[in-house]
Structure 1
Amino acid sequence: MKKRIALIFLIIFSFLNPLYAQELKTLSLQECIDIALKKNPDILASKSTVEKSFFKIGEARSGYFPEIDLSLGYQRTYQESKTGEEYSKQYSGQINLTQTLFDFGKTSKQVQVQEELYKSTQWQDKDTLLQTIYNVKEAYFSALKAKKQKETALEVIRQSKRHLDLAKGFYEVGLKPKIEVTKAEVELSNATLNLITAEKQLSQALLNLKVAMGAVDMQDFDIRQEEYAVRKLDEKELLDIAIERNPQLQAIKFNKQASISTEELVKKEYMPKFTGSASYGYLNEDFPLDKKWTLFLQMSLPLFSGWSTTYKLKQAKADTTYYSYKEDSIRQQITSQIKNLFVQLKEASQKIETLKIALKQAKENLDLAMGRYEVGIGSSIEVVDAIVLYEQTNTQYWQAIYDYNVTYAQIQKTVGWAE
């Protein structure tokens, strides 16, 4: 039996020893978020997408400028005829310039489409940022809950060890039967198993936090307890803000506007296009070369393209219809989410206030049960029941804290708050 007790405390010490062997760096929630904003690959990839969309605006604007190219050539020709064979050669060098003179606003409309798509990409980037921040918060509060569960398990072990010491003392003086000691030993063994589970859950929760931060290879760290506070929020006000700032909804709006502009752009393909080109250079069979320049004005009018323009226009109209329905769908989802989240937030806050009182009562009940047992008028059943009640209430309290904070983080993400 003594060997079993020694093994139990050896296991407990194996969990506690790393905490004393080296002091871990403690990170706050905001510090974890700051690391995620710098290292999370989803955010970095999203930033690259925004840059690519911005460069497409420059590509569209290139239609305002002339195209200039330089050509150098040497031509060797062989011709065979009735009069004999003839060889000829020619050297050439010229610079060419082509400029769109008037295209009925096609280039400017292309720029407008890309600018609207760029704004959509910016909102998509913000959605990625908000999702990452939410993931960090959810993982952080999950780790905090696991940490509190471990602390509860350690407290239960302390109380179980005290119970065991008292039971052994009473048994040695003949006041309690042997079964009291055995029950206390079983209780301590179960508490140790719960500690092992709590330690595993804490390790997994901290790993999930590293994944959310995008820093899986980061050294181990501890987390700081965040102060809990009930926030005063107005449902209607937040719903109005969400309609204006929700990144998914805003991205859809700009995608719809880009589709409308694309319709207008495709219609301009039916219009003529006026271009001018000029070239200046030298040309001759031998040096010195003869000077040469040309100037050419052209109007091109599309007559038939296999109905390609017609189908492009239908595609653009289909996109506009799609984004219109999608905008209405997301708007309804936002309304539903805000209303549901407010219900969950209210429930969690009420649970916290109730469980805060229940936790205080459970601790007082545990102290009373232990005190009664210590003076010999209580029973082991009272002590075990008090320990179990304290453990359950503590677990429920921190679960409610987790639910409240995660629900509030969901509200922040839906509304479009990055703080």
Structure 2
Amino acid sequence: MILRVLLISLFLFFSLQSSAFSLEPVYSLQDCINIALKKNPEILASKATVNKSFFKIGEARSGYFPQIDLSLGYQRSYLENKIGEEYSKQYSAQMSLSQTLFDFGKTSKQVEIQQQFYKATEWQDRDTVLQTIYSVKESYYSMLKAKKQKETAQEVLKQAQRHLDLAKGFYEVGLKPKIEVTKAEVELSNAKLNLITAEKQLSQALLNLKVAMGAVDMPDFDIKDEDYAVRKLNENEAIQIAIERNPQLQAIKFNKQASISTKELVKKEYFPTFTGSASYGYLNEDFPLDKRWTVFFQMSLPLFSGWSTTYRLKQAESDIVYYSSKEDSLRQQITSQIKNLFVQLKEASQKIETLKIALKQAKENLDLAMGRYEVGIGSSIEVVDAIVLFEQTNTQYWQAIYDYNVTYAQIQKTVGWVE
């Protein structure tokens, strides 16, 4: 007897273990965001762009340092003239150094421009991160809505099946006409079709979430329910923070500053550049080679370049006007967008509170209608109406949850919050 109990216990244990290992993993919203930050190709490409911009600063700084070259050469030539043929050869080895001595701040201004472009690229990268996080959130809440719609469809199917079973029982004992059974069968068929549609929408929502995460090939998974909670936000404070932290706006500001610096750099092209160079080496037709060295100082002053400097100056001025206008336009768009989002957030919050009560009432109404029908005092129409009301209210409730969470995620993206 003890051995039999032990064997049964071991069988149940391994059965539960195998079934547990076969379950799909369950991810929270933060889990999905973390995966996206590591795997999404848009973020990886954005990071590479930031690195490239950083290396351009180093390239600009190279103007502070001397340029050193080493050359080794061998030349053999042939000359034919009236006297006859002549061959000559020459060996050379030389090291040269050149250094900009003074350029009226051109090099430093080039470094400054690249630093401003780098900061703009950093803000653009932040915008990519925020956009990716928003896409994950939107897809996550869309999947959550689809998941709840599937659960609703399953509950409706369960109630429709129960209705059909009751209708058949009443018909068999002569308490209900055949049409009651037929209506219940139609209702059950519609419930099955709705469940098929809900399953398809859930599969599509899961795929969209994987795409947002940048992990299309990862195995299927389930998601956790995100608790609904009203966020206390101040509209004016959100607008002020957005003006200071919105990545698109900040990127435009640094691009405008780079254009101002570019204008200053172009103006410096009217000034001369002082450079110095030196070389040391050996040269001769045969060994041993003769030693030689040279030192050279030069001032370069552009006198006429076909008005190219003037045109570059006008281009920089046009860029300044462009970015200034874009900055003003985007600031107005951000203010308007946040105001509209707060209106939508308030509307969704009010809907949720109302639908939460309506959903409870719809479930009670369904239970009452099914109970009345079960004891033979209710009608089939009453049951169908109760099931439809329950389904519609459930769908509206989770749509309101989706609207609230996605609207809040839009506010976070616009303001520049990374959460």
Shorter-chain TM-score: what band? Answer: over 0.9
Matching of residue 175 in structure 1 with residue 202 in structure 2: no
CA distance in 1, matches of 2:187, 2:167: 12
| Alignment partner, residue 125 of structure 1 | 125
User: Distance in 1 between the 2:185 and 2:89 partners?
Assistant: 107
Separation (CA, whole Å) in 1 of partners of 2:127 and 2:88 = 67
Q: Could you tell me which residue of structure 2 aligns to residue 14 of structure 1?
A: none
For residues 173-223 of structure 1, the C-alpha deviation after alignment (integer angstroms, 9 at most, x for no partner) is: 111111111111111111010000000000000000000000110101011
Distance 2:203 2:87 in 1: 85
Residues 8-19 of structure 1 correspond to what in structure 2 (within 5 A)? none
**Cα distance in 1, alignment partners of residues 351 and 41 from structure 2:** 37
Equivalent position amino acid for 1:238 in 2: A
Specify the SS of the correspondent of 1:98: strand
Q: Amino acid of the residue matched to residue 314 of structure 1?
A: K
Q: How does 1:124-273 map to 2 (within 5 A)?
A: 124-273=124-273
What is aligned with 1:294?
294
1:405 equivalenced with 2:405 (yes/no): yes
Aligned partner of 1:263: which letter?
Answer: K
Partner of 2:88: 88
TM-score between the two structures when normalised by the length of structure 2: 0.94
Aligned-partner Cα distance in 2 for 1:84–1:393: 109
Q: Secondary structure at the match of 2:219?
A: coil
The AA in structure 1 aligned to 2:245 is R
What percent identity do the matched residue pairs reach? 84
User: How far apart are residue 77 of structure 1 and its match?
Assistant: 3.2
Give the aligned partner of residue 12 of structure 1: none
CA distance in 2, matches of 1:80, 1:231: 94
- Higher mean C-alpha displacement, 75-84 vs 339-348: 75-84
The 5-angstrom pairing of residues 257-406 of structure 1 reads: 257-406=257-406
Partner Cα separation in structure 1 for residue 20 and residue 163 of structure 2: 26
Instruction: Tell me the equivalent position of 1:5.
Output: none
Q: Would the alpha carbon gap of residues 360 and 82 (structure 1) be closer, same or farther in structure 2, given more than 3 Å must change? A: same
Q: Distance in 2 between matches of 1:86 and 1:33?
A: 78
- Distance in 1 separating the partners of 2:80 and 2:186: 111
1:81 Cα deviation after fit: 4.6
Give the distance between the partners of 1:283 and 1:180, measured in 2 at CA. Answer: 112
Cα deviation, residue 101, structure 1:
0.2
Amino acid at match of 1:188: L
Instruction: Identify the range of structure 1 (165-174 vs 318-327) with the bigger mean alpha-carbon deviation.
Output: 165-174
Q: CA deviation at 1:74?
A: 1.7
CA distance in 1, matches of 2:136, 2:57: 34
Segments ≥4 residues shifted beyond 6 Å: none
Tell me how far 1:89 sits from its aligned partner.
2.1
Query: Could you tell me how far apart the structure 2 residues matched to 1:178 and 1:298 are?
Result: 108
Relative to the length of structure 1, the TM-score reads 0.94
SS at match of 2:37: helix
1:324-364 deviation digits (Å, cap 9, x = unpaired): 00000110010011000000000000000000000000011
**Deviation (angstroms), 1:170:** 1.1
1:214-270 superposed Cα distances (whole Å, 9 cap, x missing partner):
011010101110011000000000100000000000000000000000000011111
Provide the C-alpha distance between the structure 2 equivalents of 1:368 and 1:21, rounded to a whole number of angstroms: 41
TM superposition shift of 1:86: 3.4
Q: Which residue of 2 aligns with 1:13?
A: none
The CA deviation at 1:83 is: 4.5
Amino acid at match of 2:151: E
Q: CA deviation at 1:305?
A: 0.7
Question: Which residue in 1 is equivalent to 2:7?
Answer: none
In the TM superposition, what is the alpha-carbon distance from 1:167 to its structure 2 partner? 1.0
CA distance in 2, matches of 1:315, 1:148: 56
- Give 1:87 deviation, angstroms: 3.0
Deviates more, 1:75-84 or 1:167-176: 75-84
Cα separation, partners in 2 of 1:81 and 1:172, compared to 1, 3 Å: closer
State the one-letter code of the partner of 1:50: V
Question: Which residue does the alignment assign to 1:15?
Answer: none
Secondary structure of 1:270's counterpart equals: coil
- Per-residue CA distance 1:301-326 (angstroms, 9 max, x = gap): 00011111111111111111100000
- Measure the CA separation in 2 of the matches of 1:138 and 1:344: 15
Q: Deviations along 1:60-93, whole A, 9 cap, x unmatched?
A: 0000001110111122233445554433322111
SS in 1 for 2:101: strand
Supply the distance in 1 between the matched residues of 2:182 and 2:202 (Cα, whole angstroms): 30
CA–CA distance in structure 2, aligned partners of residues 145 and 206 of structure 1 = 11
Q: Deviations over 1:144-175 (max 9, x none)?
A: 00000000000001111111111111111111
CA RMSD of aligned residues (A): 1.3
SS at the partner of 1:294?
strand
Q: Give the direction of change, closer, same or farther, for the CA distance of 1:202–1:21 in structure 2 (3 Å limit).
A: farther
Q: SS state of the match for residue 271, structure 1?
A: coil
CA distance in 1, matches of 2:218, 2:381: 46
**What does residue 16 of structure 1 align with?**
none
Taking structure 1 as reference, are residues 180 and 88 closer, same or farther at Cα in structure 2, changes over 3 Å only? same
Counterpart code for 2:25: K
* Cα distance in 2 between the residues matched to 1:102 and 1:380: 95
1:114 paired to 2:114: yes
**Structure 2: segments with no counterpart, 5+ residues:** 1-18
User: Does 2:45 match 1:45?
Assistant: yes
